[in-house]
Amino acid sequence: DIQMTQSPSSLSASVGDRVTITCRASQTISNSLNWYQLKPRTAPNLLIFAASDLHNGVPSRFSGSGSGTDFTLTISGLQPEDSATYYCQQTYSIPITFGGGTKVEIK
Amino acid sequence: QVQLVQSGAEVKKPGASVKVSCKVSGYTLEELSMNWVRQAPGKGLEWMGGFDPTHGEIIYAQKFTGRVTMTEDTSTDTAYMELSSLRSEDTAVYYCAADSGVQGPPNYDYWGQGTLVIVSS
């Protein structure tokens, strides 16, 4: 199984800050990497697919980069509504696996 | 507008089974690759299985093989996930998550609202 390691597990930042979350795969996954946002009591939302493509309707302050084993989700200009937990997911091979999550809090 | 609407919360005793439904609208079920993902309290997301379009069949995570059955009723555009021999560790929110296949490598662009399953004696 491909292990997905996210860091940090949590962070606290101020409105307007630039926030970076990293995700490392235990083996190469090409660009088969997605990012999701989870808020309590709501369904997860797809933010980024194929490592760097912005899903429809997602604010442009979210961006993704990377390929192979190392990936990054960046929020440029953190907003209060970005308080959530973020997960990376690899769909390169079965079983599909997720990172452990990064909880983002607003100071 | 695509919607995935799941069945309501369930409380089950250890050893019982639970069947969660996921009704699709705005697409047909045949147009989607449906997957099931769960999140236990305080834990992360866990893929349970789903339709693999490459092989044209439903594939289960090894952890759940023998205990989970995923089915699809294309006449009603409803997907089902049945988990048997429930134990307390199966207490979780269960999501159906669909890949429309319109963009890039597999990704789940549509999600159900989640179904809370509580396993307790």
Q: What is the DSSP string of A12-41?
A: EE-TT-EEEEEEEESS--TT-EEEEEE-TT
Q: How far apart are CA B85 and CA B96, in angstroms?
A: 20
Residue B54 confidence (pLDDT) above 90: no
| 22-81 of B, contacting A, C-beta below 8 A | 35, 37, 39, 44-47, 50, 52, 59, 61-62
Confidence of residue A68 (pLDDT cuts 50, 70, 90): very high
- What does the angle CA B84 – CA B51 – CA B30 come to, to the nearest 5 degrees? 115
Q: Which residues are CB-contacts of A57 (< 8 A; sequence separation ≥ 6)? A: none
Query: Mind listing the pLDDT tens digit for each residue in A6-15?
Result: 999 999 999 9
Confidence of residue B1 (pLDDT cuts 50, 70, 90): confident
Contact with chain B for residue A89, Cβ under 8 A:
yes
Cβ(A86)–Cβ(A37) under 8 Å? yes
Using DSSP bridges, classify how beta strands A70-76 and A97-98 pair: parallel, antiparallel or unpaired.
unpaired
Cβ(B80)–Cβ(B20) under 8 Å? yes
The fraction of chain B above a pLDDT of 90, given in percent, is 91
Query: Mind listing the pLDDT tens digit for each residue in A13-27?
Result: 999 999 999 999 999
Closest-CA distance, B104 to chain A, in angstroms, reads 6
Which chain A positions have a beta carbon within 8 Å of B62's beta carbon?
95
Of A9, A55, A7, the closest CA to residue B111 belongs to A55
Using DSSP bridges, classify how beta strands B115-119 and B10-12 pair: parallel, antiparallel or unpaired.
parallel
Residue B102 confidence (pLDDT) above 90: no
- Averaged pLDDT for residues B96-101: 94
CA B52 to chain centre: 14
- Averaged pLDDT for residues B61-87: 97
The fraction of chain B above a pLDDT of 70, given in percent, is 100
